[in-house]
Amino acid sequence: MHQTFRQDSKAESDLPGDAQEPIVSDRFNLPEEGNIVGQIQVVHSRYQDTLFALARHFDLGIDELTEANRGVDRWIPGENTAIVLPTQFVLPNAPRSGIVLNIATKRLFYYPEPGDELPMVLTHPVGVGRVGWQTPTGTSKIIAKSTNPSWYVPKSIREEHAANGDPLPAVVPPGPDNPLGEYVLRLSMPSYLIHGTNKPAGVGMRVSHGCVRLYPEDIEPLFESVSVGTPVAIVNQPYLVGWKNGNVYLEAHKPFEDDQRDLVLYLVNRVNEIAQALQIPEEAIDWKKVGDALSEPRGFPVPILQGSPDTETLLLSARVIKRPTVFRQDQSEETEALVAAENEADSAAESSSQSHTKE
């Protein structure tokens, strides 16, 4: 049975001397060796905090923050609860070029052209397609960019909303009621978009009709950075094997319920591949640690070599940071009703834009 991680309890007045400033967790220099970026952090909550507010403030999705903090109530985590921020990532097993979307982790990675700067990666949480409307995997590219798009509502969605007493117009103009947000990147995959949202609580969840949505504060700089022609790779990798400083790590996420692949076989082959490349003997892999990570995925990298620390010991050495005094948004806006609305057909967000695209 999982036990909620707890550091030594401290009153908030005691924390500043020990707590550090948070790392910048949405951009990292690429490592010269290995494929892991970032650092696990821990922040102590106050009674008024929710995981939704903490997720958005630290540029995390609600699913990944909930996964990292099993046993913690996402609405009432409690006073002075140690909240694990999964701000360390194994990079997807894909070319480090353009945009890479890992729908299993609900996270986007963007590799800008390095120019005169060191190679780096930018990463943000995303909302992806729900069951029955899964975001497709494969290779694509950005074919168009637009701001303040209109949403042309499909007839089926208008009829559905009308039946529910919530009629929609044929066209939703730009503005706060537009589920596409203010920025749209159109993919060469017909009908699919990367865009903002007017319901940010759904970022980091399976809520769309297939398109990919970002927080408003994340889509804007991404929109400005990418150009038409930027390659986009969409992968579905819930199990990510990483290496750093001579150790092998596993970042495990709960696979989608409609994923029928033999993921354990893939993982075993991937672990053996990495171990062989690093000249690590097979017997050095602690398969019990691998099994534990799969049975209770936490969504951040854990070491899987014999003699390496277990998850709870790993978290005790995490970077403890100061709780923000000002959040990205008013916590009172993050209500359960908003999330419930995201999990309904939302009807719209990803059904269609001007060319009848999904949202």
pLDDT at 117: 79
Residue of higher predicted confidence among 179 and 161: 179
Give the model's confidence band at 328: pLDDT under 50 very low, under 70 low, under 90 confident, else very high.
low
Catalytic annotation on 211?
Answer: yes
Give the range among 156-170, 216-230, 253-267, 329-343 with minimum mean pLDDT.
329-343
Tell me the pLDDT tens digit for each residue of 63-111.
999 999 999 999 999 999 999 999 999 999 999 999 999 999 999 999 9
Q: Given a cut of 50, is residue 345 above it in pLDDT?
A: no
Average pLDDT over residues 264-276: 94
8 A C-beta contact, residue 249 and residue 301: yes
Tell me the pLDDT tens digit for each residue of 22-53.
999 999 999 988 999 999 999 999 988 999 99
How far apart are alpha carbons 259 and 240 in whole angstroms?
Answer: 16
Phi, psi at 55, each rounded to 5°: -60, -50
Q: Given a cut of 90, is residue 151 above it in pLDDT?
A: no
Average pLDDT over residues 338-354: 42
Catalytic residue, candidates 195, 209, 253, 356 = 195
pLDDT at 327: 73
Q: Given a cut of 90, is residue 335 above it in pLDDT?
A: no
pLDDT at 359: 64
Q: What percent of the chain has pLDDT over 70?
A: 84
Catalytic annotation on 44?
Answer: no
Domain map of the chain by residue range? 239-315
Average pLDDT over residues 313-342: 69
Q: Considering only CA atoms, which of 75, 82, 71, 72 is closest in space to residue 15?
A: 82
Catalytic residue, candidates 44, 57, 124, 211 = 211
The chain-wide mean pLDDT, for the chain, equals 85
Average pLDDT over residues 208-233: 92
Residue of higher predicted confidence among 306 and 341: 306
